[in-house]
Amino acid sequence: MACRVSTASGLVLAIADRRAVAREIVMKRQLAILAVVFLSGVAGTFAATDQDDLQTGLRIADRLYNDHRWEEAIAAYRMVLKNAPTVTVSLVQIARSYRNLGETDRAIAAYKELLRVDENNDEGRMGLAFCYLEKGDLAAAEPALNRAAEGHPTREVLYNLGELSRVKGRTSDAIKWYRLAKQLDPSWDRPTERLALVDRPATVATTPASR
């Protein structure tokens, strides 16, 4: 997974390329659609035309998103949510659209909205944490990263916890997080580089990672 470096408070934060997770988002969305269709068929709460409208609405929203028409995509995903609140993956796309617009506070609000509906949503937890990192709000980022690490974290979540622990002088915690990041992706060199430096004096220059 490609990474881009974002510097904040002397940290090198790893932020995964948003496009790299697009396939996973599509899979989650498809599963969500199937779940809505299945449940509506059992409960008899949705007509066939409503199911068709839901899928059509998602296709339109996705097309707008893929065309980088972020504001229109947000409106389209909101319409989907209005008609099918259980398709919460739309909130992920809304948050991502706000991030692409550079409106981090609104992205944070969307992720929080998602977590109110599904508090254990991995994408919501990680997205919220990375928004805080992008803002440079390290005080809010660390607890958010810790919550993200409770689920199925990416290597960037673990690495960034190592970075935050390191700059706060918690060397043993930093080593733990760097090692976990390395275990998750043995081919990634950044945790190895940090492990080689972590016991050296603080005179060595530092950098953070971002998603």
Using the predicted structure, report yes or no on whether residue 160 has a pLDDT greater than 60: yes
pLDDT tens readout for residues 107-117: 999 999 999 99
pLDDT of residue 21: 52
How many residues are present in the chain?
211
Q: Please report, rounded to a whole number, the percentage of residues in the chain having pLDDT higher than 90.
A: 62
List the domain range (segments joined by +) for residue 144. 3-209
Task: Supply the CATH number for residue 167's domain.
Answer: 1.25.40.10
Predicted TM-score of the model (pTM): 0.73
pLDDT tens readout for residues 18-76: 555 555 555 555 544 544 443 344 334 333 346 677 888 899 999 999 999 999 999 99
The mean pLDDT of the chain is: 81
Neighbouring CB atoms inside 10 A of 175's CB total 18
CA atoms within 13 A on the CB side of 76: 21
| Strands of the chain, DSSP E | 3-8, 11-16, 208-209
Q: Please report, rounded to a whole number, the percentage of residues in the chain having pLDDT higher than 70.
A: 70
Structure tokens that stand for 122 in this block: 């991995």
pLDDT tens readout for residues 121-144: 999 999 999 999 999 999 999 999
Based on the structure, what is the number of domains in the chain? 1
pLDDT of residue 11: 65
Please state the rounded mean pLDDT for residues 180-198. 95
Q: At what angle do helices 104-117 and 89-100 cross, to 10 degrees?
A: 170
pLDDT of residue 10: 56
